[in-house]
Structure 1
């Protein structure tokens, strides 16, 4: 908190997380390009699963590079986003502590527990959204629609699960036909991941903006 009682701004973390999410989106675009190259190359001989080995090797090399890039950019993005998530949870907890069912430490721990991480961060995000919603007016409670939370979380979980499925298909593929089908699955997962990154930026910007307007208003922090 700042000396005057105003919660500390997380706009710096928001900017860093947004940039990292944009880089993740760019890595997804690179993977889509590389995947489309393999997909079209295998099918270019009038629909038959055949292609020159040299061109296939080059396509596989690019696809592997794209996958490595995705892996490299994911970790710093996750760290920055979770850091923003944690500090936003701390700040929104100052606005309306009664809205939260979990302590602020769960804003980090919730991401690290297997299986529970498919649910806990979402519940915390919903609570933060409610705490940052505008104060009641004329005696009527107000809460901003939570569709940005639902959209972001739905895309994130879908891309994670579908990515695991696509990975298993690709790892078990043996023939060119199977590889082509698995690459198509991976491309669908990349599209979901790209959409999830965009939705995450929108969700984070909206939540930060809502929180800051409420925190800096002249009204008390109670909700």
Structure 2
């Protein structure tokens, strides 16, 4: 019998790196917007509480009804923050994990840990103040387009650093404020603790805004590099001049 001359099947063509759907980015931005609104509500409630405590004639003249109403509003604002925080955090971490997988396909050598750390890094007490930043730093570098001249990539890190700095500062101020309020023995000490919470709320609000900017920029960088390759789109060639 003669050997079959049927052509061998060609190997499959390499697929393009994955491009995450825009729906998850929209969900993340929506969650961050809701979180920022909850922080604004808490700031308003904090200002109202301090206005009642620091009335024109001093907090000792404030009626019990006014103090109770202000404290109730502030407690409601705190509950709203917690209700919004949980789903927003879940959506953000899921998006973070999906972006880790997507950027990992662009430059696997840029990562110091596996994709699972995009979730696990958030769950380790104390270490979650640093480990997620390392994952985000690696993702940012993997999504950065390489220079065509072969030099080192010029990476703008300020969106990442600004977001993470505000995020960590907000957490630290919140813990300090919580400790002061728990140990408060007088209304004046509670008032000072509320002031610390207001600083924390302002930092969290700014962190939400910068997190949204970071998410938009990282997604745009990943999509651009996935479509045009590691060196980006080639420069447009100048059209030849018409002959006379």
Shared fold by TM > 0.5?
yes
Gaps of 5+ in 2: 1-13, 233-244
Residues 1:219 and 1:207: Cα distance change in structure 2 (over 3 Å): closer
1:1-223 pair list within 5 angstroms: 4-218=15-229
Moved more, 190-199 or 50-59: 50-59
Larger Rg: 2
Does the residue aligned with 1:19 lie in a helix, a strand or coil?
Answer: helix
Alpha-carbon RMSD across the aligned residues, in angstroms, is 1.6
Contact 1:43 1:50 in 2 (8 A): no
Instruction: Give TM-score scaled by structure 2 length.
Output: 0.85
Tell me by how many angstroms 1:140 deviates. Answer: 2.2
Contact 2:145 2:230 in 1 (8 A): no
Does the residue aligned with 1:56 lie in a helix, a strand or coil?
Answer: helix
Tell me by how many angstroms 1:121 deviates. Answer: 0.5
User: Greater relative contact order: 1 or 2 (C-alpha under 8 angstroms, separation 6 or more)?
Assistant: 1
- Please identify which structure carries the higher helix content: 1
Tell me by how many angstroms 1:45 deviates. Answer: 3.3
Contact 2:39 2:205 in 1 (8 A): yes
Aligned residues: 219
Residues 1:219 and 1:118: Cα distance change in structure 2 (over 3 Å): closer
- C-alpha distance in 2, partners of 1:213/1:192? 31
Per-residue CA shift, 1:167-188, capped at 9, x if unaligned? 1111222222111111111101
Instruction: Give TM-score scaled by structure 1 length.
Output: 0.93
Gaps of 5+ in 1: none
